[in-house]
Structure 1
Amino acid sequence: MFKITKKYFRLYGLFIKNCLIAQMEFRGNFMMSLIVESVYLIAKLLYVLVVFRTDLHVDGIPPEGLLLFIGMHTVVTGIYVGLFFTNFMKIPEYIKDGSLDLMLTKPVSLQFMASMRYIDLALPIPDIIVGFILMGIGWYAMSIPLTFLHLAGIILLLIVSIVITYCLMIIPALLSFWFVQTGSVSEISHSVWDANNFPMAIYPSWVRRIGTFVIPLFLITNFGPMFLLGQLNWLHTGLAMLASILLFALIRLLWKQAVKGYSSASS
């Protein structure tokens, strides 16, 4: 098990190295990506100005506390864009042009190759930096103690957020094994993703139940800040971790089922 894990870590390191070399060959594109994402982020931060100018309170949480939610959403968005977005967009292309045939011959997991091969090292930088700054400001403004337990809890829930993000956002790509056009599903998923920018308390109770227990989207942005604000305990944190593991296992089974029904583009 250790040797297999080491093998995949080494392979992923090579992916990062190759992507970095490729992006550095076109430094202009790299810088343009940084600028474009920064401009998009500035527009997105208008949410913060609106929150503070209107003195918005959500479920008793003041504007300073809302920065934890906005920051968490921004950080996870950066991680998603950097690690997963490009790969998920390419999976339907692999299926259509037969590139998946070549990946099937590799002595590594096909899911790993198809969904983790490309890393964008430019787009996530502004999101991750600004997101952590917003969380830091909210953390300080809410007088939350900087303890080992708080740090451990937020790190664990950030990992949970990343796993759930991977599982939910790969679903449109998996559907392309059965359906030719899945672009509309991807658009819907990204629209729903943006709706997760604030505490789930702004939604009706039935929406919160669906977003927590059926499609656990709210676990991504909400559970970390709620833990820091004392609205969640370690039991909830453990249940969130268990949910992410079960969801990943479900996606793994769905992937295997999709590959079983895959017909080579060259056949």
Structure 2
Amino acid sequence: MIKLFSTLKKYIKIYFVFIKNSLMAQMEFRTNFIISICTECAFLFAKLLYVIVIFHAGTKINGFSPYAMLMFIGSYTVITGVMDAIYFPNLSKISDYVRNGDLDMMIIKPISTQFLVTMRYIDFGLAVPNLIAGIAMVVISWVKIAVTFNIINIIGFVAFTIIGIIISYPILLFPFLLSFWVVKIQAISDITWALWDFNNAPMTIYGKWLQRIGIFIIPIFVITNFAPMFVMNILSKGLIFWAITAPIIFFILVNKFWNYAIKNYSSASS
């Protein structure tokens, strides 16, 4: 147990070094940083057109009012901000590492190669617009739909948001590990990000079988749906248990797949 905490402390320190280095690098080229924010704001505006359509329609969608829909969209936007900042800048580079042989130097480092490859870079410019807009949407919708503002709901919403961020990691990493066998994974990457956008609405608008697949097989709906469902008191105890269990299961699976991929890695530089 002492060794576990010592290792955890070590990796937390290393991650803060990653954060510091990424921030320093982005501040050296502030124009690029500002352009990154502006570009993400443009993408965010395009997403918000969906919100405008919902409010102009003014009708309930599968029992959800426009403001209830806004909470789901806000939750999606917040976690998208985290995904854009932490996961996207790292996972999108995996195929290049494998193809160019850059992975060779990472494997010999005295830390987990998986940690180094998938957590090294943080893009703050991509995160800022989504986090601000997402939090604003959640707060506005929370007030408008008169959800009880108490400590249980606040802790629950934050906890399920954190669970969504955690389980995003293995779900997004799985397809990118195919880079070890497939040289070009652009199509796989496009499908992955398309699946991500399934979260931009309550999962109940989809059919029952698609819901089951999106909860238990490829738990994409766990990412952004469960936090709003919890505060709206429509999340069952079974799904709460699954939300706690799923990240553990999928982290174990993705770690085993990573180790298998590394064993089959052939240096491109050799």
Partners of 1:239 and 1:214 lie apart in 2 by 12
With the length of structure 2 as denominator, give the TM-score of the two structures. 0.96
Match of 1:114 in 2: 117
Deviation (angstroms), 1:235:
4.8
Partners of 2:127 and 2:154 lie apart in 1 by 22
Match of 1:263 in 2: 266
With the length of structure 1 as denominator, give the TM-score of the two structures. 0.97
Gaps of 5+ in 1: none
Match of 1:132 in 2: 135
Partners of 2:205 and 2:47 lie apart in 1 by 19
Give structure 1 regions of 4+ aligned residues with deviation exceeding 4 angstroms. Answer: none
Provide, for residues 63-105 of structure 1, a one-character-per-residue CA deviation record: whole Å limited to 9, x for no partner.
1111110001101111000001010011111111111110111
Gaps of 5+ in 2: none
Match of 1:92 in 2: 95
Does structure 2 retain, via aligned residues, the 8 Å contact 1:58–1:199? no
Partners of 1:171 and 1:76 lie apart in 2 by 18
What is the number of residues matched between the two proteins?
267
Correspondence 1:40 to 2:43:
yes
Partners of 2:250 and 2:167 lie apart in 1 by 7
Partners of 2:190 and 2:85 lie apart in 1 by 18
Correspondence 1:10 to 2:32:
no
RMSD over equivalenced CA pairs, Å: 1.1
Correspondence 1:170 to 2:154:
no
2:152 pairs with 149, 152, 157, which one? 149
Correspondence 1:23 to 2:23:
no
Match of 2:194 in 1: 191
Deviation (angstroms), 1:60:
1.4
- Paired amino acid for 1:134: M
Match of 1:250 in 2: 253
- Paired amino acid for 2:188: V
Provide, for residues 89-137 of structure 1, a one-character-per-residue CA deviation record: whole Å limited to 9, x for no partner.
1111111111111011111100000000000011110001100110111
Alignment CA distance shift 1:155-1:235 (3 Å): farther
Q: How does 1:205-244 map to 2 (within 5 A)?
A: 205-244=208-247
What percent of counterpart residues are identical?
Answer: 43
